């Protein structure tokens, strides 16, 4: 019995050790990385229920959907100032191109904002095919930017 307890403790201790990667301290005094990642996580959380409606897995309720689209619109301009010139440090997953191809990165932001604005316009019209297309377009513009500017692994690792 004692032996089993020790093994359990060992497993817990070693999983705590390996968990230190993503939980690594943000070295920047303004916590740029932590702040932009928190906003991106909110992108995902806010878009998710609209994705369910678009795939017929959740009922479309006009006022609710319109509020969600507006919440995404409000978030959509927020991450970019946190990619300032001094914002490239580990463990960011941003590719160096964010900083070396600033106009391309700005372009991807603009395309994304256009898609979100279209979603807001469609959100109150109860026209489900149009809503589906708009949700698709937003998801595609997230992916387009990620394909160009986000890597699968954090830098410095």
The only residue of 43, 68, 69, 122 in contact with ligand HEC, by rule CB under 6 A? 43
Q: Candidates 8-16, 52-60, 62-70, 139-147: pick the segment binding ligand HEC (CB under 6 A).
A: 139-147
Determine the Cα–Cα distance for residues 47 and 44; give it in Å rounded to an integer: 5
The answer to whether 109 contacts ligand HEC (rule: CB under 6 A) is yes
For the bound state, the minimum distance from the C-beta of residue 72 to ligand HEC, rounded and expressed in Å, comes to 7
Q: What is the torsion angle, in degrees rounded to the nearest 10, for the CA atoms of residue 101, residue 102, residue 105 and residue 109? A: -170
Q: How big is the chain, counted in residues?
A: 157
The answer to whether 135 contacts ligand HEC (rule: CB under 6 A) is no
> In terms of CB distance, is 10 or 110 closer to ligand HEC?
110
Contact 92, 125 (CB under 8 A): no
Contacts 24+ apart (CB under 8 A), 131-134: 131/53, 131/54, 131/60, 131/65, 132/54
Rounded Cα gap, residues 32 and 26, in angstroms: 8
Of 7, 8, 11, 41, the one binding ligand HEC (CB under 6 A) is 41
Among 92, 119, 123, 135, binds ligand HEC (CB under 6 A): 92
Q: Is 44 in the site for ligand HEC (CB under 6 A)?
A: yes
Q: Which is nearer to ligand HEC, 10 or 102 (CB)?
A: 102
Asked whether position 84 contacts ligand HEC by CB under 6 A, the answer is: no
């Amino acid at each position: 019995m004692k032996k089993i307890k020790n093994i359990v403790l060992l497993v817990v201790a070693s999983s705590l050790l390996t968990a230190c990667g993503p939980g690594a301290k943000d070295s920047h005094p303004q916590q740029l990385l932590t702040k932009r990642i928190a906003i991106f996580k909110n992108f995902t959380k806010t878009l998710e229920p609209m994705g369910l409606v678009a795939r017929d897995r959740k009922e479309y309720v006009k006022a609710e959907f319109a509020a969600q689209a507006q919440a995404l619109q409000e978030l959509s301009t927020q991450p970019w100032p946190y990619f300032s010139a001094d914002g490239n440090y580990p463990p960011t997953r941003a590719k160096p191109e964010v900083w070396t191809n600033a106009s391309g990165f700005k372009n991807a932001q603009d395309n994304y904002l256009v898609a979100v604005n279209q979603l807001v316009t469609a959100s109150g019209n109860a026209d489900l095919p149009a809503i589906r297309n708009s949700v698709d377009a937003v998801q595609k513009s997230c992916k387009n930017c990620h394909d160009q500017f986000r890597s699968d692994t954090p830098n410095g690792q």
